[in-house]
Amino acid sequence: MKILFLLFLSVSSLLYAKNDLQYETSPYLKQHENNPVAWHAWNKKTLLLAKKEQKPIFLSIGYSTCHWCHVMERESFQNKKIAQLLNKYFIAIKVDREEMPQVDALYQNIFYHIHKRSGGWPLSVFMTPSREVFYITGYIPLKKTSYSVGFADLIHKLSKLYEDKKALQKRIVAIHKSVQSPVKIVLKEDVNVSLTTLSKSLKKSFDENYAGFGKGRKFPEASRLSLMMDLAAITDDKTLKKYSFEMLDMMSLRGLYDHIGGGFFRYSVNENWEIPHFEKMLYNQAELIPLYVRGYTKSHKKLYESVVRETIAMVNKRFLHNDVYYSASSAESQGKEGEFFTFTPQEIHKALKNNTYAKEIEDALGFGIEGNFNNKVVLNFETQERPRGFVLFKKALLHVRAEKQYPFTDKKINTAWNAMMIEALYKASTLDIQYAKSADTNLKALKKLMFQRGELYHQTVPGVAPKQKGLLEDYSFFISALIAGYEVDYEEQKLDFAEYLLSVAKRKFYKNGIWYLSDDALHVKAGLKDKYYTSALAKMLQNIVKLGALRASFKYEKFVDKNITHLKEVLISKQSDTPALAKAYLMQHLGVVVLKSSKENLMKNAKIIQKVQYPYVLREAKEYNDFLACTLRRCFINDSNITNVLHVIEEEFLIQGSK
């Protein structure tokens, strides 16, 4: 009996032995360390192993809070049969796309060229030991469906293809040709980029029925909304103003927003913002907070201020650790999507039981009150404001949530996303100066952790020294946070450090006129996509324009001109589909105004200055008693009255009378 028991233990340990991911620190990779799949990490050792064994590679890219990544793991990567097949025919590699965004970008680009549409996660790539792709797709179902063969059948099919060298080479050549084919940009002779073309492009892409961009599922697209708010201010375009506030309202009143716990979910699975995908990403909170600050400054709508305060409180509660931030929380809890964030109809009605405004709240919730997601309720207010009695209603539902388990939190500390959140706090300090103090604390903690021996690092987890060198996005967003911080406290050291980081970034990532995502052998060109969060390349160009204005540097201006000229054809073709690049272009083309005065004057008048309509105004502390407004080449107003100065800026730079 004892021998049988020991044999059972031995077999069990083999079945559930940890794979190579046990040596990794990424929370996503650690989630897969007990899979029966013999996973490897992406590194030189693994790639050499594939060549040595002459086995093709199966590359699976995802991230720790990705719902469909978890589904695929449960269905396939924990499945012994699938694991045996993968282990037999392939070298299986797992990549955390948040840890290695440059690897993800490389294969997402291939997916886009092959399928003529954007990919997503999980991303599944099959390639030769020399990394020549012969099949690429997304989620692979365990069993055959209308859109895909089952995973086991696909493995057999692709392993046979790999053995048929003639057919394999034909497939590789076809994919390579597709990827290498230049994207044809057909331009009319009279087409350019301007305030008018960008405004038309935004209006064309805007969904007037549900206040968002595009049809189908809705992403917040903070960068595009920011551009729309810029154009609405510059041109006094009433339609764009209306669209901007409608979108702010929809995102904060419908299902995209967590009305009980605060903060935004990653995106809405349907076009009317009703049902979210329940992940909470640090970058979403960070990029939306400044837009709601801006909305509040322009409208004084109480809802917008509440959203800012609630979202910051949520981030501090769920993500803040030792003055730096974790990355995200999952859509799932207890194995069910949205379990923590949804309520039963009975729980809703019970929460309304002693509420004086129960009927008003019920009307605001509409039909969703009886269940709109798997017989559960995702809160959506079909009103322009929160209904009366909301505070008491929220308190009752917080008690319900207190009995639930919060979803898995990815404890990865990402430099770029932390910098985004720090910048958001600096921007929110116009509502509460305490946010600026928090931002300073967090900035110092992030720099201490991630800036070592003159190098910026990309990510780590608590208790582990960072090892992965910084990427373009880390430098871009860190510099942006430093500039935002300077405009709050006017500490010259922040600008000095921003310039240092810029010089390092240029040396690492800018080669032969092209920006790259990372300083490694992959040579992945930096893209301009802003759908999930702002393009690192476009953000860097915005930074250089700002530093050029603050430092009165023609060197920076010349460098930005060179970059924007290189990208002009893409911008003309894409217009508002590359919103952060469009913003950099407008800043350079229209001009950044630097408002100069003493530190005391600027700080005393911060809230007044914040109200200026022209969006490209920076502040610089100088030993002046008056206020001086300048562009790079001229100063055009000097006055002791800040109101007069702001009026002249608006007279000079705003275009009045647009429809």
Rounded to the nearest angstrom, the gap between the alpha carbon of residue 168 and the centroid of all alpha carbons in its chain is 37
Mean pLDDT across 591-619:
95
pLDDT above 90 covers what percent of the chain? 88
Instruction: Give the integer Cα–Cα distance in Å for 418 and 20.
Output: 29
Mean pLDDT across 431-447:
98
Q: In angstroms, how far is the first alpha carbon of the chain from the final one?
A: 87
Each residue's pLDDT tens digit, 533-565: 999 999 999 999 999 999 999 999 999 999 999
Crossing angle of helices 151-163 and 80-89, rounded to 10°: 10
Average pLDDT, the chain: 93
Q: How many residues does the chain have?
A: 659
Phi, psi angle pair for 120, to nearest 5°? 170, -155
Q: What is the model's pLDDT at position 15?
A: 45
Q: What is the model's pLDDT at position 118?
A: 83
Residue 18 has pLDDT above 80, yes or no: no
Residue 19 has pLDDT above 50, yes or no: yes
In this structure, the dihedral spanned by the alpha carbons of residues 622, 628, 631 and 637, taken in order and rounded to 10 degrees, is -170
Q: How sure is the predictor about 203, in pLDDT bands with cuts at 50, 70 and 90?
A: very high
Each residue's pLDDT tens digit, 124-145: 999 999 999 999 999 999 998 8
Quote the longest CA-to-CA distance of the chain. 95
Q: List the CATH code of the domain at 10-180.
A: 3.40.30.10
Q: What is the model's pLDDT at position 17?
A: 58
Q: What is the model's pLDDT at position 648?
A: 95
Q: How sure is the predictor about 657, in pLDDT bands with cuts at 50, 70 and 90?
A: very low
Residue 152, CA distances (Å) to 82, 162, 424 in order = 6, 15, 46
Range in 114-118, 411-415, 424-428 with the lowest mean pLDDT: 114-118
Instruction: Give the integer Cα–Cα distance in Å for 80 and 142.
Output: 12
Residue 13 has pLDDT above 90, yes or no: no
Q: How sure is the predictor about 344, in pLDDT bands with cuts at 50, 70 and 90?
A: very high
Residue 658 has pLDDT above 90, yes or no: no
Residues near 458 by Cβ (< 8 Å), separated by ≥ 6? 99, 414, 415, 416, 450, 466, 468, 469, 470, 471, 474
pLDDT above 70 covers what percent of the chain? 95
Residue 361 has pLDDT above 70, yes or no: yes
Domain-wise residue ranges, the chain: 10-180, 341-403, 502-588, 593-653
Contact between 322 and 568 under an 8 Å Cβ cutoff? The reply is no
Higher pLDDT, 119 or 464: 464
Q: What is the model's pLDDT at position 180?
A: 83
Each residue's pLDDT tens digit, 163-190: 999 999 999 999 998 888 765 545 444 4
